């Protein structure tokens, strides 16, 4: 699974870790995260994330 980076703050969403504090279980692909999920660091939405290269 691919990792995604929040462009404004640099937070990396790693699907192997998920975001347990945000209700996202480990093993959840970025595409499967609900659209109302926000970056745990800066609070911006999924639309500011880009695939890590």
* 49 belongs to an annotated ligand binding site: no
Is the distance from CB of 4 to CB of 12 less than 8 angstroms? Answer: yes
> In this predicted model, what pLDDT tens digit does every residue of 11-44 receive, in sequence order?
999 999 999 999 999 999 999 999 999 999 999 9
CA angle, 21 as apex, 18 and 24 as ends, to 5°? 35
Instruction: Give the integer Cα–Cα distance in Å for 53 and 45.
Output: 20
40's torsion region: left (phi>0), alpha (psi -120 to 50) or beta? alpha
* 14 belongs to an annotated ligand binding site: no
Q: What is the pLDDT of residue 29?
A: 98
* 51 belongs to an annotated ligand binding site: no
Q: What is the pLDDT of residue 36?
A: 97
Q: What is the pTM of this model?
A: 0.93
Q: What is the pLDDT of residue 49?
A: 99
Q: Which has more confidence, 32 or 53?
A: 32
* 20 belongs to an annotated ligand binding site: no
């Amino acid at each position: 699974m691919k990792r995604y980076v929040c462009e404004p703050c640099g937070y990396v969403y790693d699907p192997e870790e998920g975001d347990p504090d945000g209700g996202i279980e480990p093993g959840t692909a970025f595409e499967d995260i609900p659209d109302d999920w926000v970056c745990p660091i800066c609070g911006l939405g999924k639309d500011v994330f880009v695939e890590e290269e």
